[in-house]
Amino acid sequence: MKLQRKNRLRATALGALAVSSALVLTACGSDNNSGGSSTGGSGEKTSAASNVKCDDAKGQLLASGSSAQKNAMDLWVKDYMAGCTGVEVNYKASSSGEGIIAFNQGTVGFAGSDSALKPEEVADSKKICKTGQGINLPMVGGPIAIGFHLEGVDSLTLDAPTLAKIFDGKIKKWNDEAIAKLNTGAKLPDKAIQAFHRSEDSGTTQNLGKYLAATAPNDWKYEPEKKWPAPGGQAASGSAGVAAQVKQVDGAIGYFELSYASSQSISTVDINTGGSAPVKASSENASKAIAAAKVKGTGKDLALDLDYTTKAEGAYPIVLVTYEVVCDTGNKAETLPTVKSFLNYTASDAGQKLLGEAGYAPIPTEINAKVRETIASLS
């Protein structure tokens, strides 16, 4: 009996050791897809799934603005909240204009905008950023795709003057001579063009306007503003709304971020820049254009100057950069730790890597290094 009891105790001990070892192995291999969080040697919480540094993040963080970055923001928020349990990030994708208004009213911790703050918007921000002002942090790059729906036509090339005339209502039919010259051999139908644009103030609209004004000044006479300037056409709300209309309507053309075209299998226009071959809308090709951007902001502001007239081989010229707008100093104490923690993740290697996978373009490394430094200095 004593021998049997001793054997049972020995078996129990070995079983306990095996369970303990399994738990240790599970903990050591915690960088799986569980999305749980752990504590690093320094005592700060990090996400096992994506190495998110939660730091002192807590509670709810409200943000709003650009719908251009919605698909990227959805991925970021999901990953971040998986790593930082107990923290809720709520980003409302509306428009750049609405985001800046919300920021300057003090109702959000940060705003997303596809255009840098105007001087008057910076002045307004000083009322909220008590000891500082709003600054622009470039976080998301990407191509503005020109999506089209034309039964029987899968491939289409346009140049800036032709695109300007289409959106200005000067070219009305798909078999117009100007379009035919750029698409030799294509069977273009005698069908009316239905051009869709954004109904609300939009940074995407403004960036398209900057491209057309810079590359087709004789055909696009409008100042690049967030409000759609040309008469005619049809309006839809948000990038998602424009994409939905193009998807549904035969003869339609519109503009939105590439991720909307990719997710809905919408055909996109190749752009004739004057280079050796038309350029497709892709993350890689947009990155080639964005890589030439220069910082034009001063101090901690990192607003960029984009070259819409580039003819570099393989560089897609219709691009935008979405900024996260924050206070350089004077951020609200209750949300500052979460703002810094979340933006640290979006600017991290892991966060930026997600962009290419979602149809966006990562911010160039040299510029992104400055973004990280600025985030660390927010107060």
Task: Give the pLDDT confidence of 188-235 residue by residue, as tens digits.
Answer: 999 999 999 999 999 999 999 999 999 999 999 999 999 999 999 999
**Closest C-alpha to 231, from 175, 170, 177:** 170
Residue 359: per-residue pLDDT: 85
What is the pLDDT at residue 116?
A: 95
Q: Which residue did the predictor score with more confidence, 34 or 281? A: 281
pLDDT for residue 40: 37
Residue 65 reports pLDDT greater than 50 = yes
* pLDDT > 80? residue 160: yes
Q: What does the pLDDT average to over 153-175?
A: 98
Q: Is the pLDDT of residue 7 over 70?
A: no
Report the mean per-residue pLDDT for the chain: 88
- Is the pLDDT score of 49 beyond 80? no
**In which residue are the tokens 């909220």 written?**
128
Please state, in angstroms and rounded to a whole number, the distance separating the CA atoms of residues 75 and 354: 8
Cβ pair 281, 145 in contact under 8 A: yes
Whole-number Cα distances in Å, 168 to 6, 91, 145, 164: 91, 33, 18, 6
Distance of alpha carbon 110 from alpha carbon 17, whole angstroms: 50
**For a pLDDT cut of 70, what percent of the chain falls above it?**
87
Tens of pLDDT along 230-273? 999 999 999 999 999 999 999 999 999 999 999 999 999 999 99
Burial of 251 (0-12, 13-18, 19+ CB in 10 A): middle
pLDDT band of residue 357 (cuts 50, 70, 90) is: confident
Q: Which residues pair with 143 in a beta bridge?
A: 319
pLDDT in tens, 271-290: 999 999 999 999 999 999 99
Q: Does position 6 have pLDDT exceeding 70, yes or no?
A: no
What pTM, to 2 d.p., does this model score?
A: 0.79
* pLDDT at position 309 over 80: yes
CA distance 257 to 301: 25
pLDDT one-digit tens code per residue, 322-349: 999 999 999 999 999 999 999 999 999 9
Residues 6+ apart with CB under 8 A from 330: 128, 129, 130, 131, 132, 379
* Element holding 339 (H helix, E strand): helix 336-346
How far is it, in rounded angstroms, from Cα 157 to Cα 246?
17
Read off the pLDDT band of 31 (50, 70, 90): very low
Reply yes or no on whether the pLDDT at 25 is more than 70. Answer: no
Least confident of 28-42, 120-134, 261-275, 360-374: 28-42
Query: Which neighbouring-strand residues pair with 62?
Result: 90
The confidence band for 103, taking pLDDT boundaries of 50, 70 and 90, is very high
Residue 356 confidence class, pLDDT cut points 50, 70, 90? confident
For 240, half-sphere exposure in the C-beta direction (CA atoms, 13 angstrom radius) is 8
Is residue 358 very low, low, confident or very high in pLDDT (cuts 50, 70, 90)?
confident
